[in-house]
Amino acid sequence: MGNKKIKVALVGNPNCGKTSLFNALTGLNQKVANFPGVTVDKKTGYCQLTDAYGNDIDAEIIDLPGTYSLYPKSMDEHVTFQLLCDPRNALHPDITVVIADASNLKRSLFLCTQIIDLKTPVVLALNMMDLVEKKGLVIDIPMLEKKLGIKVIPINARQKVGIEELKLAIAGDLTAPRADFINIRSFAPEVVDLIQKTTHVNSDYVAFQIANNYELIPFFKENPHKKEIIKSFLEEHNFKSSNLQAAETLERYKILTEKVIKDVVVQKDVIQKKQFTSKLDRILTHKVFGYVFFLLILFLIFQAVFAWSTLPMEWVQQGFQKLREFTQNTLPPGFFNDLLVNGIFAGLSGIVVFIPQIAILFTFIAILEDTGYMARVSFIMDKLLRKFGLNGKSIIPLVSGVACAVPAIMSTRTIQSWKERTITILVTPLMSCSARIPVYTLLISMVVPNRYVLNSINLQGLVLMGLYLIGFFTALFAAFLLSFVLKAKERGYYIMEMPVYRMPRWSNIGITIVEKVKIFLFDAGKIIIAISIILWALASFGPGDRFKNIEQKYSKTEYTSTLSSQEIKHHIQAEKIAASYAGSFGRFIEPVIKPLGFDWKIGIALITSFAAREAFVGTMATIYSVGEEDSHQSIKEKMMADINPQTLKPTYSIAVGYSLMIFYAFAMQCMSTLAVVYRETKSWKIPVFQFAYMGVLAYCASFLVYHLFK
């Protein structure tokens, strides 16, 4: 016989230590999926429990998004409401664990009393008892249990104190609370009766909650006639949801203040000393030192993501290079060899190479979140960035975007407001990322003279800096425009708790990194692999016998006698890519990109750049039959020697060079970014829109630049 299985939901305010408790209960035995139909991540984990009789129980722990009350105000809170207040929900828990910040007892207990009134088995885990002591307070636990009518376990989730006791309590025979905390029936007796009759729920409070939010309950979507009955009944009885919500909240706080807190919390010592947090805030939110400190942090993050990741990224690339060479030489040549080496391994390498940057950025993000500093970043940056429709926290993804948009977009999750987060995601790829650098340097070396102006400023460096600035200011401007275009799905609040400063917990940071890497590898990775294979196929096959003819042509003695085998290989590659589907596509789009000064060869590079922008350089090398192993210099010389057959002028004029640079600055040419945007927004709408708006922007800007310089 299998073990007994139970579902346990973890509920609590934001910053109450819920994640720490979840990690302490489940360890690495957790996974992230989505709640059906919404963009909210569902974190579940498993925990083995043993009850008092020695029987094993398998507990599935669901970590619900942090919330201050059951009334849903955001998408995250919809999920919590649906899970807890709809007994028909597949994830409706057998036991609810409320985790409360004991140093913020009243506010934490407010949510707890709502859960109590749902009348499902509940246990209260009282966290941060160490902070209570520091405040000079004592909490009378048995008295609290008596007042609330539920079991209360003091814990310290960071130090894993009280976890075993909590597990024992969950495994024990928890019964539903017997008494209501407040008499909700008296607020709207007829309505409570009607809902109980139509939906067969027992608890008065569940019925009351359903009356307030019946539109979110799937049962009523499936039974529209019942929904109509309730709707007209509520109107008939003049059921004013927001008035009743306010009345309920006031009633709960009144009872908590007058009947619970007064008897449960005793002030033991009077602490005069200003708290540590307050002292630190005086510096970290100071009008000078606050920004200086934040700039230092930004600089550190930037350095880390940019520089520290170079070495591990090289290892990944070299490792894959070795694997590709080994496979190419070991397996018999042919279709599968090529697919494996240039399609799948190339794609995999393109995915794994992001891991160092993701891990490094999330180490910092996790530390900023865990210490409580992220709330201060928001506090000091909010007014500046709000003007552009962004959030104070948007500055971190924007700056990280200069290294790479992929981890940057994953880090927007700290922004609660849907609208501000979406705008941040949409504009972050406009920041010039490190993959653009090889493209910029090649083009700049071709069209900008290596001269000094005013004796000290290098012209090439000046243009490079200009490209970065253009990216940054365009991102801000685009955000500003988007803030008018995007419609908020819910009313946004800034209102936010500023948590006390705490030391980061290294195990939590480790778990965050593993979680983010897993999300990227498995969710975005499969899209990247699929696109890599398509790109490989486009460049490796051509219509008809074109490829065969090229090989035949170069096997003739007129070539083999005059050219070295290396040169022949390069010529074959160059003609093949021109003859491939990618080449055909390049010719096909030539009329469209001609107004920008681009020819079909650039058209091919625009397509291959979709794997990663720096592929531009490699593609140019192939097209101009230079080996990739050759230096920048030879690619540059070949490109500059190219003559346009129609105008008989060099293809890469100054105008084309600048136009191409601007195109690379603005266009959304990165499949990995699009894949990650899809993962983070859980819909194709945002990535498709992003691709379109950045494409139009790039096209128009390049058009202007080309005609300006021509």
Partner 1 sequence: MDKNITMDKMKVGQSATIISFTDEVMSLKLLEMGCVPGEVVILERKAPLGDPIAISVSGYLLSLRIDEACTVVVSIQD
Query: Can you state the angle between helices 355-371 and 289-303, rounded to 10 degrees?
Result: 150
Question: Smallest gap, in angstroms, from Cβ of residue 498 to partner 1?
Answer: 4
Question: Smallest gap, in angstroms, from Cβ of residue 292 to partner 1?
Answer: 11
Complex with partner 1: residue 245 or 445, whichever CB lies closer = 245
Complex with partner 1: residue 278 or 329, whichever CB lies closer = 278
Question: Smallest gap, in angstroms, from Cβ of residue 605 to partner 1?
Answer: 45
Question: Smallest gap, in angstroms, from Cβ of residue 390 to partner 1?
Answer: 14
Q: Which residues bind partner 1 (CB under 8 A)?
A: 68-69, 71, 73, 103-107, 110, 135, 242, 245-246, 249-250, 253, 277-278, 281-282, 285-287, 290-291, 375, 378-380, 382-384, 386, 491, 493-500
- What whole-number distance in Å separates Cα of residue 89 and Cα of residue 42? 14
Question: Smallest gap, in angstroms, from Cβ of residue 321 to partner 1?
Answer: 49
Quickly tell me which residue has 């016989």 as its tokens: 1
Complex with partner 1: residue 381 or 668, whichever CB lies closer = 381
Sheet containing 4-12, strands listed edge to edge, beginning at the edge strand earlier in sequence:
30-34, 41-50, 56-63, 4-12, 95-101, 122-127, 151-154
Question: Smallest gap, in angstroms, from Cβ of residue 96 to partner 1?
Answer: 18
- Answer positive or negative: Cα dihedral of 62, 67, 69, 71: negative
Complex with partner 1: residue 126 or 529, whichever CB lies closer = 126
- What whole-number distance in Å separates Cα of residue 226 and Cα of residue 224? 5
Complex with partner 1: residue 451 or 491, whichever CB lies closer = 491
Q: Which amino acid is at 641?
A: A
Residue 644 C-beta-side C-alpha neighbours within 13 Å: 15
Question: Smallest gap, in angstroms, from Cβ of residue 255 to partner 1?
Answer: 12
Complex with partner 1: residue 103 or 412, whichever CB lies closer = 103
Complex with partner 1: residue 106 or 571, whichever CB lies closer = 106
- What whole-number distance in Å separates Cα of residue 487 and Cα of residue 423? 11
Question: Smallest gap, in angstroms, from Cβ of residue 142 to partner 1?
Answer: 22
Complex with partner 1: residue 275 or 507, whichever CB lies closer = 275
Question: Smallest gap, in angstroms, from Cβ of residue 265 to partner 1?
Answer: 10
Q: 362 near 412, Cβ under 8 Å?
A: no
Residues facing residue 123 across a β-bridge:
97, 151
Q: 109 near 138, Cβ under 8 Å?
A: no
Tokens of 100: 């409360």
Question: Smallest gap, in angstroms, from Cβ of residue 261 to partner 1?
Answer: 10
- What whole-number distance in Å separates Cα of residue 479 and Cα of residue 473? 10
Nearest to 401 by CA among 668, 47, 140, 200: 668
Question: Smallest gap, in angstroms, from Cβ of residue 242 to partner 1?
Answer: 5
The stretches of 64-162 forming alpha helices (DSSP H) are: 75-85, 105-117, 129-134, 141-148
Question: Smallest gap, in angstroms, from Cβ of residue 284 to partner 1?
Answer: 11
Complex with partner 1: residue 52 or 495, whichever CB lies closer = 495
Complex with partner 1: residue 107 or 227, whichever CB lies closer = 107
DSSP of 619-668, one letter per residue?
HHHHHTT--TTS-HHHHHHHHHH-B-TTT-SBSS-HHHHHHHHHHHHHS-
Map 439-490 to HEC letters. Answer: HHHHHHHHHCCCCEECCCEEHHHHHHHHHHHHHHHHHHHHHHHHHHHCCCCC
Complex with partner 1: residue 285 or 460, whichever CB lies closer = 285
- Residue 341 DSSP one-character state: I
Long-range contacts of 612-617 (CB under 8 A, 24+ apart): 612/350, 612/435, 612/670, 612/672, 613/433, 613/435, 613/436, 613/438, 613/439, 613/664, 613/669, 613/670, 614/435, 614/436, 614/437, 614/438, 614/439, 616/438, 616/439, 616/442, 616/664, 617/438, 617/439, 617/442
Complex with partner 1: residue 242 or 565, whichever CB lies closer = 242
Residues constituting the chain: 710
Query: Can you state the angle between helices 615-623 and 565-579, rounded to 10 degrees?
Result: 110
Beta strands in 2-133 (DSSP E): 4-12, 30-34, 41-50, 56-63, 95-101, 122-127
Complex with partner 1: residue 135 or 227, whichever CB lies closer = 135
Complex with partner 1: residue 277 or 458, whichever CB lies closer = 277
Question: Smallest gap, in angstroms, from Cβ of residue 420 to partner 1?
Answer: 12
> 207 Cβ partners below 8 Å, 6+ apart?
191, 192, 195, 196, 199, 201
Question: Smallest gap, in angstroms, from Cβ of residue 65 to partner 1?
Answer: 15
The stretches of 103-188 forming alpha helices (DSSP H) are: 105-117, 129-134, 141-148, 163-171
Question: Smallest gap, in angstroms, from Cβ of residue 298 to partner 1?
Answer: 16
- Rg over alpha carbons for the chain, rounded to the nearest Å, is 31
Complex with partner 1: residue 154 or 597, whichever CB lies closer = 154
